[in-house]
Amino acid sequence: MQSRILFICIAVFFLSSCAKTRITDHPDWSKYYEQYGIKNACFILRDNNHEAIHYYNLKRCQERLSPASTFKIFNSLAALETAVAPDDQLVIKWDSVKRREEWNKDMTMAEAMKVSCLPYYQEIARRVGPTKMKHFLDTVKYGNMKMEGKIDNFWINNSLQISADEQAGFVKRLYFAELPFSERSQRIVKNMMLREETAGYRLYYKTGTYETKEKTTYWVVGFAERIEHVKEDKESMNKVDVRNYPYFFAQNFDMPTGNESQDWYKVRLDIMRQLLKDYGAIKN
């Protein structure tokens, strides 16, 4: 048993210490995937409030895969840090090549993040350039840090790879502005990731999809803030009556390419929400 705990502590790279961090396997979370016939999946959740890590399918959580469009988080940081993008309102003109309808227009970086516009971010990467991009990859230690092929496709050609546990660690550092980028750059990117906001929670995430002839991998990476209202004692130095409790997560699963039995883009978000609600990170 002790050797198993030691193995997990070494394997999950972002743990600060085994003594302070609780690690829990949730084989019961398989039900969320089995209901859709998904057999190869993983989910990892870091509960910062209790210094705990919860996961489903540890081996898969440690497997490095192409980040696909989840790399737009990193790409945005690089653009802001180099002043390629002065802010999230940088407009890049549409090149008039018809692709997806939602991409076929001039757009800002905030808009491009929301619709996951690949051509926009390919141009961003070209403007940042390979030297600076590689510097940031190495400094952050993002996944395997590989940049093979062209500057505008290394995150979609299976050169660059990152695991779910590394993704969860990456967005945690983003949330607390601990990445080697300015606080301003990290704050702007964090705000661009906000997709849902209610009285009880905020949900920030980025999806990604990597397709081969045999299988398609569906990613979603991000963090949730559970919002609690408290009544402070009159003598308390803290006069704010709102508390934000963050949870960091990453999920991916595979389905055979061409399988259209479900809207897998929607399913990945539905499962993510079910798991976050199951744990209590977001409220109904």
Report the C-alpha gap between 122 and 195 in whole angstroms.
Answer: 23
Return the structure tokens found at 260: 């259209």
Report the C-alpha gap between 125 and 153 in whole angstroms.
Answer: 9
- Sign (positive or negative) of CA dihedral 138, 143, 146, 149: negative
**Count of helices and strands (H, E) across the chain:** 10, 7
Return the structure tokens found at 197: 């906001």
Is 69 an annotated catalytic residue? yes
Return the structure tokens found at 115: 């619709």
Catalytic position from the list 69, 76, 116, 185: 69
Report the C-alpha gap between 221 and 117 in whole angstroms.
Answer: 17
CA distances to 66, 100, 140 from 158, in Å: 5, 22, 19
Return the structure tokens found at 250: 């990453």
- Write the single-letter amino acid at 14: F
Cross-strand partners of 245: 226
Report the C-alpha gap between 189 and 200 in whole angstroms.
Answer: 22
Q: Which of 240, 66, 245 is nearest to 166 (CA)?
A: 66
CB-CB contact of 108 with 88 (8 Å): yes
Residues serving a catalytic function are 69
